[in-house]
Amino acid sequence: MAKTLAAIKGVGAYVPTNVLTNADLEKIVDTTDEWITTRTGIKQRHILNEKGKATSDLGVEAVKILLEQTGLKPDDIDLLICGTVTADMVFPDTANTILDKLGTNKGFGFDINAACSGFLFALNVGAKFIETNTYKNVVVVGADMMSSIVDYTDRTTCVIFGDGAGAVLLQADTDGYGILDSELRGDGSGRQFLHMKAGGSLKPASCETVEAKEHFVYQEGKSVFKAAVNGMITSINEVLNRNNLSPNDIRWVVPHQANMRIINSVADGMKIPIDQVMVNIQNYGNTTSGTLPLCLFDYRDQLKKGDLIVLTAFGGGFTWGSTLIKWAY
């Protein structure tokens, strides 16, 4: 009996219309376009600045585009998993809010918080519901409104992040197309280098935490850089070796869009030409859980059925991993 794989059968993505360029940031903090471009590769990022809008609204628009492309209706969604670090609220989960805003209560949803690895982890969780024939249509969303937790007086972080979302549809495939293998890892000791200090049960919100600006992203750049490059290269190699593949067998590497220097270091370490690496960081910045599906959406016309691609990510926590996929359409 043919093995059932979870195959990506459609991709959707959305970014807000408001664009924050490097020139705009020059007016806000002590920085320059040259400084930002040289250190990050970013030229602009999209910001959701509409009052009353949140991460779920980004996810809704991405899923709407996905449904249009696949011909499905909201009621066809059996399960929606949302990778996000900027949930609308502590609870309820953003996934069920997305389903409600789409106008359906037929399925169910839940969130996964693995920082920038959120979409990758959610994709692998969603795949299990397909591989076990539990559900027919699983939607995986990566969405983050990073502007809500970025300090725009801190030039080391505010230049990096943007808002955006992407979504994919997982369905069963018995012809060998879909998610073939994954290596997912975590090291909680890395939380000291990339985190948000307050707002959780360890340090609930108070006047003091707000005044101390402890509800924004904190990052120790050098430690994160080293761990990210090592984590992505190591996990890619582990997946390839396990499947008797070499970098030459891979058509596309889809890395988390954290920093162009990190992307280049991963490509160099894997000896993969940069033209085989999906890159769109210049347009969106780091959208955290949104980067991988945004890449797949932007490159969708270049993807061919049968292409072997590797998704790889690294996030605060630390979390990291790589997933090998045989493209299905």
Share of the chain above pLDDT 70, in %: 100
| Average pLDDT in the chain | 97
Task: Name the helix (H) or strand (E) containing 95.
Answer: helix 94-102
Domain final residue pick, 112, 145, 176: 176
Torsion of CA 220, 54, 24, 45, to 10 degrees: 70
Q: For residue 221, is pLDDT > 90?
A: no
Span between the terminal Cα atoms of the chain, in Å: 22
Q: Which of 162, 76, 77, 170 is nearest to 122 (CA)?
A: 170
Among 72, 54, 42, smallest CA distance to 16 is for: 54
Q: Is the pLDDT of residue 1 over 90?
A: no
On whether both 202 and 322 belong to a single domain, the answer is: yes
Instruction: Check whether residue 160 and residue 113 sit in a common domain.
Output: yes
Percent share of the chain, pLDDT over 90: 99
Q: Is the overall model pTM greater than 0.95, yes or no?
A: yes
At residue 2, the pLDDT reads 85
Structure token digits, residue 296: 């797949």
User: Which residues are annotated as catalytic?
Assistant: 116, 256, 286
The residue segments making up the domain with residue 72 are 5-176
167 shares its domain with 185 = no
Considering the domain architecture, whether residues 303 and 234 belong to the same structural domain is answered as yes
Are 275 and 289 part of one and the same domain? yes
Residue-wise pLDDT tens digits, 51-104: 999 999 999 999 999 999 999 999 999 999 999 999 999 999 999 999 999 999
Q: Give pLDDT tens digits for 159-189.
A: 999 999 999 999 999 999 999 999 999 999 9
Total domains, the chain = 2
Domain boundary among 159, 176, 193: 176
Q: Please compute the mean of the pLDDT values over residues 291-309 and round it to a whole number.
A: 98
Cα(259)–Cα(257) distance, rounded to whole angstroms?
6
Residues 98 and 185 in one domain: no
